[in-house]
Amino acid sequence: MNKIDKENLKKMCVFFKILESHKISDLTANHISILSSDKKHFYTNQHRFLFSEMTPANQLKVNFNEKKKIILSKINKAGYQIHRYLHMSKAKPFAILHSHSVNAVAVSCLKEGFIEKLNQSSMRFYNKVKYVDYGAMAISKEIGSDIAKVVDKDTRLIILKNHGNIILAKSIEELHHLTFHFEKCCEIQLKILNSNKQYNSVSNKVASITSNQHTQFGPVGKMSWEASIRKFKKKK
């Protein structure tokens, strides 16, 4: 393993623990992957570990067309199909998170779905969201392939209806940033809908302008990642 992959695995493991601290985990069910530097493999978590237990040593390097039964037996079956096809998709993400957080699952069950034009933070996802109808657990290559077919180069969020969500990012920093804001926006949306009050949404033009503005502060998520790392180190 080269130096770049080693550093990325260390960051990935810190991200697992940050997710756990935000209660964005589902025992051993959810999964993250990052692309290896050779672009022929991805690293992902072994199925039997909690997010809080993740270390570089218990991440596995997986081929896009993995044949080794010992590796396939240690990773989440749905995770393998979802991540391998998405890494090869038009979106070409470096980092992927699939989660079943309470807020994400709740929003995935709404007919209206995720409201992109509801608030300033949700507008970062404007025109970057895709939906996939629920058809069963994503443990077959057919379902994994179908999920990957809906994305394009701008996709950052996939809502798996009646299931959860997938976030796609160009870096671990961006994945962290988008995950935090998606969870926050889901909670805001659910609170508003629960109030039974009418709500405002902005125009497509305003949503588009705001979405672009979110990308104009340097590498997406860099500052918030560094701030979260400072907080994480203080707790240790």
Average pLDDT taken over every residue of the chain? 94
The 10 Å Cβ neighbour count of residue 55 is: 11
Say yes or no to pLDDT of 236 above 70: no
Position 136 scores a pLDDT of: 85
Position 139 scores a pLDDT of: 81
Instruction: Kindly list the structural domains of the chain, giving each domain's residue range(s) and its CATH number in brackets, ordered by start.
Output: 3-235 (3.40.225.10)
The answer to whether residues 116 and 129 touch, using CB atoms and an 8 Å cutoff, is yes
Please state, in angstroms and rounded to a whole number, the distance separating the CA atoms of residues 118 and 236: 37
194-to-136, 190, 197, 198 alpha-carbon distances in Å: 28, 6, 8, 11
Mean pLDDT value across residues 115-130: 98
pLDDT (tens digit per residue) in 192-208: 999 999 999 999 999 99
pLDDT (tens digit per residue) in 45-56: 999 999 999 999
Model confidence pTM above 0.85: yes
pLDDT (tens digit per residue) in 75-97: 999 999 999 999 999 999 999 99
Mean pLDDT value across residues 143-148: 94
Please state, in angstroms and rounded to a whole number, the distance separating the CA atoms of residues 45 and 76: 8
Name the least confident of 25-29, 36-40, 115-119, 135-139.
Answer: 135-139
Say yes or no to pLDDT of 162 above 70: yes
Position 222 scores a pLDDT of: 92
Position 36 scores a pLDDT of: 96
pLDDT (tens digit per residue) in 167-177: 999 999 999 99
